[in-house]
Amino acid sequence: MPPILMVDLMTTSQPLLSVKNLKTYFALDDGVVKAVDGVSFDIHAGRTLGIVGESGCGKSITARTILGIVDRPGRIEGGEIWLTRQAEDGTPYQTDLLTLPLEGSEMRAIRGKEIALVFQEPMASFSHYYTVGNQIMESILLHTALGEEGARQRAIDLLGMVGVPKPERRIDDYPFQLSGGLRQRVMIAMALACDPHVLIADEPTTALDVTTQAQVLNLLQTIQKERALSVILITHDMGVIAEMADDVVVMYLGRAVERGPVDAIFYDPKHPYTKALLRSIPSITAKPRTKLATLEGSIPHPFARPKGCPFHPRCAEAIKGVCDRYEPVPIAQGEGRDVSCFLYGGQP
């Protein structure tokens, strides 16, 4: 395989990917769904950013927006997505992905080659009519100068690297012939086919048994260290975040309510929503048959977003007359950390 050109990108101080005030809305007959509503975060080279929150909070749409693959009637309404790239002479430069035509040649070249996505459900993402080898080779042929023979050998090498047994035989299998764990490994191999700088893993352990989950997560960690990858890990599992992430974004109803280093988030959570998510994690020190803490209420209907702070109807610490009337803005809580909550200032 060709060498991975990450040296200059690893030494630059600017974020490898910087998302600013990103907004993606869905205009439906019943109203507008603000799936992503002003999300901002940075990810630096070689680090893992965990995006966590309940189902329906906009995590997956955020990932799809970065790659410009939002399904209709979704529309990117605003924001900036700055990707640090590498010129032929090795000089880093930045491109705002939202200024590129979504179906243009430059954006198509970025997808898979510079930013790759591991989809949430491999069986729904693979074509049932082509072998897994053909589907991996398609990306290799699109983004590299390798021919058919070279692309096939690279696909075999990738399958072996991600732990698929007998890759020279499995390359000719169809997706339905593989177990869930093997399909997820093949999906990771496909994402790594063109040596991307950023890997987005959208719920990579969904529907897998506990043993296979651990194997997939260990695989991602190993690959990240070997290739100096930047990883965006999307999950609802705080345990996975604790194990994998360097930095964390907590999302609720399309917004980032808290951001910061993983240790700060876990040992000193600020936002009431973050605290509630952490309380719901089972503890090995808890007494047997102890009832797990639950997060009261549910995410509001997309067409009935509450006025003010989106979390206030479920928040035991809500300030009457403030949280139900005004939207909080991010309040700095130290270097690299902020929280959108009136408990820490910014009250009107």
Per-residue pLDDT tens listing for the chain (348 residues): 333 344 455 555 688 999 999 999 999 888 889 999 999 999 998 999 999 998 888 999 999 999 999 988 999 999 999 999 888 787 888 999 999 998 888 998 898 889 999 887 767 778 888 999 999 999 899 888 889 999 999 999 999 988 899 999 999 999 999 888 888 889 889 888 888 999 999 988 776 778 888 888 888 888 888 888 899 999 988 888 999 999 999 999 999 999 999 999 999 999 999 999 998 877 777 677 777 777 777 788 878 889 999 999 999 899 999 999 999 999 999 888 999 999 998 887
Q: Which pLDDT does position 1 carry in this prediction? A: 39
**Amino acid residing at 72:** R
- CA-based max dimension of the chain: 68
Q: Which pLDDT does position 296 carry in this prediction? A: 78
Q: Which pLDDT does position 279 carry in this prediction? A: 86
**In 44-135, which ranges are E strands?**
48-52, 74-86, 92-96, 115-118
What are 244's two structure tokens?
A: 């994998």
What are 159's two structure tokens?
A: 């399958």
What is this structure's pTM?
0.89
* Residue position matching structure tokens 């954006």: 107
CB 59 within 8 A of CB 24: no
Q: Which pLDDT does position 11 carry in this prediction? A: 54
Cis peptide bond upstream of 73, omega within 30: yes
3-state secondary structure of 177: helix
Q: How far is CA 127 from CA 12, 170, 187, in A?
A: 39, 16, 12
What's 297's DSSP letter?
A: S
